[in-house]
Every structure is written in structure tokens, then in C-alpha cells.
A and B are shown apart, each in its own frame.
Chain A
Amino acid sequence: MPNRTEALEKPAVAVRRSASLWGDAWRRLIRNRLAVVGGVLVVTFFSLAILGPFIAPYEYQAQHLQEILANNNRPIAPFGSEFFLGTDNLGRDLLSRLLDGAQISMTVALVVQAVVLLIGLPIGAAAAWFGGRVDTYLMRFTDVIYAFPDLLFIILLSVAFRETFFGKAMNGLLLVFVAIGLTAWVGMARLVRGQLLSLKETEFVEAARAIGVSDFRIVTRHLLPNAMGPMIVAVTLGIPGAILAEATLAFIGIGAQAPRASWGSLVANGQPFLRSSPHLVIFPALAVATALISFTFLGDGLRDALDPKLKGKQ
């Protein structure tokens, strides 16, 4: 009976470098062209947001009145002058304002998802780990938040806290970010709960309990690393929603205060000039759309790369 030969079958393989699941996922990700495009664009957006103030040709709030007067008091068209993307009706360089807006949008991406993780992760994890009554109450609370109209909730929060220190932090933006996060954590809580519930019942967790591993280590070493994939995907795919929510709010005048402008308020400000100077709407809208698509491509690619069920299909 060939009892112990399994190990000796392929001695040559021992030399090969071992592939972790993360390594495998990375390889699948970079083989996915759309995901790579999305990833490159995402990196570009973040770099632009960080480097914006240094590479912007002008200050975002600087008005170039001379040039505007020379142009019959109308917005300067793009590609024709020293202002690459033209100016608005007040003579402010659109490119510089877009770069500043990138900073706002990318901060939204990070802060909102941080709030989502900060609230959704512990609530979902607690519901799954303790189960029973704790689970019921936490999940019913989650349902209530889920049922509440998001935009109304954000507007109420923004109005209620506008005059407080919190409302004034970061030019009024922090409040908007947190408000968006407060409505968006629901999905994360449900996802984490579902993931941990199924992982809690797996035999490797039971094996760890049989060994006597502490609860804390079971959560940190066994549960969370295995729930990480879907969470990364959810965070990435949640970013476009957050950017869009911020743009929507800015469009209706909540959030960034003049002279600062996020992409949403740039669209809103450009709207009256839509016929004469469409570039004031087109470029910010393009920026929003590109950001949304690149995060979505990256998120989709991550999901395909991290989902073990798709493994081997590509």
C-alpha cells in the first residue's frame, strides 16, 4: 500500500515559490485589463489630489479680471489661452479648481469609507459573534437606518450641526462626509455579519477552538483575514456612491462653501452658462464620471480576483 509516497511524488515542486491567496488574487487582478486601467486612474486621481496645490497653474480662488474683461466679461473658452481648460465667469482657472475639487472627492472617498468601516465593522462583527438577542437588536437598528431616506438624513444633519465646531471643521466638509458615512455603513454591517456568521461555523474555526485559541485571536487570525476580500470589494465599490452623494449635495448647495468648490458645485455653478460655455459643466462632469468608472472597474476587478468561487475559471 503506497502509504507515505504522496509527499515524495514531486520533489521538484518544493523549489517553486509558494503562492498565498493574496498573491494569487494580485496575479488575477493584474491580468484583468479593465481593473488595471481603473487602478491606474484611481492612483492618478489620488496623486492629483495630493499634488494638486503644487501643480495647479493658479490658486483655485484667484480671479483673473483683466483677462475676463478682455473677453467681454464672459468665461474664457478652453484650449485657446493660458488657461488650459478655460475660466469661469469670475475669471477663475477651471483646471486649478478641478484639481482642488479632486482633493475634496478623494477625501470623500477615504473619510466616508473610514466612517463606514468604523461603524459597520464593529456592529456587524458584534451581531455575528454574540448572536441571539444582541444580533436581533443590532440588525433591527440597522434596518431602521436602512429604511431612512439617505439624502433627507444628510440634509437634516448638515443643517442641525452647521453652526457647531464639528460643522465648521474642514470648511464644512467633514460634517458632510460623516453624514454620508452615517447612512452608508448599513451595507457594511450586513456584509461583515454575513461573512463572520458563515466563517464562525467553519471547521477551521472549530479546530482553533478545540486547540484552545483565545476568542480575540480567533477573530483576528481566522475570521477577519477570511472576511477581508469581500470587505475590500465593498469598500472600493462604495467609493463611487460616496463621491456621487457628495457631488449631489454640492450641486444643491450643501457642503463645500465658496470659494472652494467640489466637482458637484462646479457643475452647479456652470449650469447657467451651459449654452454659451459648456466646458464649465462638461469638464467637472467628466471628472466625476471618470472617477466613478475607475473605482467601479477596480472594484469589479478586485471582486473577480478575490472571489474564490471564480478561482480557476480564468
Chain B
Amino acid sequence: MTAAATDPATPARQIGETLIDVDRLKVHFPILSGIFQRESGRVRAVDDISFEIRKGETLGLVGESGCGKSTTGRAVIRLRNPTAGTVRFDGHDLMDLSRGELRKMRRRMQIIFQDPYSSLNPRMTVGSIISEPLETHDLAAGKARIERVRELLALVGLNPNYTDRYPHEFSGGQRQRIGVARALAVEPEFIVCDEPISALDVSIQAQVLNLLVELREKFGLTYLFIAHDLSVVRHISDRVAVMYLGKLVELGPPSAIYDAPGHPYTRALLSAVPIPDPKAERRRKRVILTGDVPSPANPPDGCRFHPRCWLYERLGRPEQCRTEDPELRTVATDHRAACHFAEEALQSDIGVAHMATDKVRHGTPQSATAGLAAEHAAEASAAAAALDDSGTGSPNEPSAEV
């Protein structure tokens, strides 16, 4: 997948000022019980998170199932009403908008769903699915609408003559393309991609991912890319956010998150990613988390990760971890982590793969050397581009490996 796909840091893309500003967002779900439906507790699906997404940027959001990724994605475009906090879209507070204003705002932000089977209404034809947004926002009528639907189908790589077909006549990958076409119909600036490829066959995943990358270049889209596949997120994202139990634990450029994570949880996550290279796999240190993810209805005190944290054990169970909820703080340029002992975590080498130093070589020595040289050059330019994007760049750039 990595080799086939377009380089995420194409210089053509411009990353501008903040488009979406999420401030202390909380989404709690009440647990109702008894015949009078009294609230007996609340699931803190998203608990006090803040981040921003810049214009033209792709922010990856990763975490285990149930950590609040999808809820965050939905709250950001106000498909769920947050319990507290604000989301500003291009300066407009989404919580303050009236119904009519919100409807207008919906044109600018869209969502692509995980399950290509439940995200399309089985009783509607592809044509009416894609023209529904056009109708709703009076974007085109009559012949122009039909033309626009055909254009959108072609744009996502489907046959424009398929307008009279029903969703069940398509494969998973094709259905996902229909979902993309529906999202694009209103010409949005921002799209929440809620695990858009997790439900697809591996052979189709790269195709849909490439389509999303292509569309991003073409229309200058901003993505919030939610996934649990770390390698996919690394590939597509300009910055990556890691969530654990409703909290943001780390936020930074992929180079930092993947090569020098500052949160013990991120390191544990990386440990779980298999490396397709037995030598590197054998050499790297891994931590296996024990126990289950605690219930978000009753999260642990202090740092939410401390009951499962390997660093907490290694540091001799410091009290601070049990009593004080760590703030997301800057540990390096453009790199934030929510750990009291992020410095210790940064210095560890747990979970990180040292692939680049140990490439498997094929073919004649000459061709292998030539290939490696070309790769190094590409990596250097990518690193340079990343430096441009993130200002001065962090000390944790992959340059160490080159």
C-alpha cells in the first residue's frame, strides 16, 4: 500500500490557517435506568479534548475501538450535540448556529462512513442518493442535476450510466465510492472520513485510499481521517492524534508519532503493529498491554492510562499519575503529549520499528544500491517538505535513519 500510493506531502498542497477549532469538547451519553428514566451515570465518550485542523490539512485520528474517535468525528460536524465545549468552523461556532444556518453550513462539511453497506439507503437508486444533497441545497435541477450526478460518478471512478442502479448491485468498494460521491456533491471544504476503508477488502483499501488522496489534491480538501490502522493513517496524514478512553493523549506529525512517540500508550499501540521484516521485528522492543480498556462510564482517576501503563510501573508507580490528569502539553515543536513523564517516554525505544536501517534487498547489488539511493533521496525531500509544513521541524525527524 505504501509503495503504490501517492506521497502525502506533495508540495502542491497548501496548509493554511485553522479551519476547525475544537475547544474542550465533551460528549457524554447519559445512562438512564428505571421507569422514570433517571440518569444513573454517564458514558464519557469524549471527555474534554481540544485540537485544531488547519485548512488543507489531513489530521489522522487513531485509537482502539470505543475510545471515542467516531463520536469526536460526528461532534466536529455537529451530527452529535456535544455536552460541553465548542467547535468553530472557519470562525463560526457550530453550537450557536440556528437550524437554518446549520443547514447552510452542512454544505461545507461532509462525512464518509465506515460501513459501505449501511451508509446507502437500500431503497434509493444511486442517482437519487447522489442527487439528494443537490436537491436539499438547490444546487442543480432538472437536466443539470442529472448531468452533475453523472459527473460525480465519473469523478469517483464509477460508470456514469449506473444512476438507475440500486446499492445492493455494487461491491463494497464501489459502494464506498458512491458514498464519496454523495459527500462531494455539495462541494465541501472539510470531510470527516470515519474509518472509510476499514470495512473494505484489503485489495480495495488502497484504491479507495488513493481516490481520497487524489480528491484531496484536486479540491484542496481538509480531512479528519479516523482509523485504527496505524500504517494507513501514517500514509495519509499531515498530523496524527491518538485517543485513549475519550482523551487525546498525543498529537503531532507522523514522524514524531511513529518514530519518537511521547506517550506510553502510543508506544504500546505501535508495539501491536506487525512489521513485515523478521529481523527488525525480532530486534524491536514491544510492550503488551494487559487488562481491558476501562469503562468510559467510570474512568480511572488521574491519568486514564495509568492502570495499564508500563511506564508507570517502570517509574515505580508515581503518585502524580494516580491523582493528576495530565494536560496535553508541548514536548517538541508541533508535538504534544498528555503524559507527566513524556520526556521519559520519548527516550524509550519501545514499540518503534527500525525498518529503514535494515531494508530487505532484492536483485543484484547494483540495482539494490541504486534503489536505496533513490529512496533516500525521496525520504530526504519528504523530510524537507515536512520541515516546511511544521515550521522548524522537530528533533525527531526520520533523518536519524538516513
Contact = CB atoms under 8 A, between A and B. Distances in A.
A18 B35 contact: no
B10 interface: no
Nearest to A202: B118
Contacts of B210: 1, 3
Interface string A203-246: 11011111111100000011001100000000000000000000
Contact of A210 (B111, B120, B123, B164): B111
B165 A18 contact: yes
Contacts of B103: 212
A70 interface: no
A2 B211 CA distance: 11
A152 interface: no
B106 A211 contact: yes
Interface string A30-49: 00000000000000000000
Report the contact-size class of chain A (Cβ under 8 Å from the partner): 20 to 34
Interface string B95-120: 00000001110110111011100111
A226 B123 contact: yes
B162 A212 contact: no
A3 B155 CA distance: 12
B121 A14 contact: no
Interface residues of B, number: 51
A140 to B, nearest CB: 7
B2 to A, nearest CB: 12
B115 A203 contact: yes
Contacts of B113: 203, 206-207
Contacts of A20: 123, 125, 166
A313 interface: no
Given A202-B118, A210-B106, A210-B110, A18 B164 contact: yes
Nearest to A2: B207
Contact of A133 (B37, B114, B119, B120): B37
Interface in B107-144: 107, 109-111, 113-115, 118-125, 132-133, 136-137
Interface in B1-35: 4, 35
Contacts of B4: 1
A206 B106 contact: no
A220 to B, nearest CB: 12
A18 B125 contact: yes
B157 A3 contact: yes
Contacts of B401: none
B165 A6 contact: no
Contacts of B158: 6-7
Contacts of A211: 106, 110, 132-133, 136-137, 182, 186
A131 to B, nearest CB: 10
Given A19-B166, A136-B37, A203 B118 contact: yes
B159 interface: yes
Given A3-B210, A6-B173, A212-B103, A308 B122 contact: yes
28 contacts: A1-B206, A3-B157, A6-B173, A14-B159, A14-B161, A18-B166, A19-B166, A20-B123, A21-B123, A136-B35, A136-B37, A140-B35, A203-B118, A204-B118, A204-B119, A206-B111, A206-B119, A207-B179, A207-B182, A208-B132, A210-B77, A210-B79, A210-B110, A213-B136, A221-B132, A226-B121, A226-B123, A308-B122
| Ranked 3 nearest A-B pairs via Cβ | A212-B106, A203-B119, A4-B157
Interface of A: 1-4, 6-8, 11, 14, 18-21, 132-133, 136, 140, 202-204, 206-214, 221-222, 225-226, 308
